[in-house]
């Protein structure tokens, strides 16, 4: 199989189509529906974090949600610097499920302006990335 192709070269090689990257363990472009995303979302407390996690996984919008308690946030809100203790969610999903995940999160989240940031998985354990796709209904058709 040879040496893995760096992501930047692989992306150029497959630009413009839905083709999968040729090398195991390499991520797909964020615009590819099967690309795996890691999304960050902060919650005010454990109860809202758990409710969001259960809804997103239960509805197959996410394969897994990790809850990290004890996050201390400093941010600017309505002209002031604010400080809060929060719980951070690390949400694993696919690009194809992101819009539905976003809509559901905005519907359920208690904040006026919820944090939701998606970062593409550039590389990873191929079997795990395939599991994320399968758990969200986005199993790869052809690799």
Q: Is residue 29 part of a domain?
A: no
Q: Is residue 72 part of a domain?
A: yes
| Residue 33 pLDDT | 83
Q: Is residue 137 part of a domain?
A: no
Contact criterion met (CB below 8 Å) for 133 and 36 = yes
Query: What separation in angstroms does the CA of 8 have from each of 11, 28, 35?
Result: 5, 11, 15
Q: What is the pTM of this model?
A: 0.77
Residue 102 belongs to domain spanning: 38-117
| Residue 16 pLDDT | 39
85: CATH: 3.30.70.120
Q: Is residue 142 part of a domain?
A: no
100 has a pLDDT exceeding 70: yes
Total domains in the chain come to 1
């Amino acid at each position: 199989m040879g040496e893995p192709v760096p992501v930047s070269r692989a992306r150029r090689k497959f630009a413009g189509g839905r083709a999968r990257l040729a090398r195991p363990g390499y991520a797909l472009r964020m615009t590819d529906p099967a690309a795996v995303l890691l999304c960050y979302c902060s919650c005010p407390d454990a109860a809202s974090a758990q409710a969001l996690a259960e809804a997103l996984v239960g509805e197959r919008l996410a394969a897994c949600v990790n809850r990290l308690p004890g996050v201390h946030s400093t941010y600017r809100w309505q002209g002031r610097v604010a400080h809060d203790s929060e719980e951070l969610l690390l949400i694993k999903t696919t690009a194809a499920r992101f819009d539905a995940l976003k809509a559901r999160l905005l519907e359920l989240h208690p904040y006026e302006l919820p944090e939701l940031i998606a970062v593409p998985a550039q590389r990873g354990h191929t079997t795990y990335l395939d599991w994320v796709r399968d758990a969200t209904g986005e199993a790869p058709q052809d690799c």
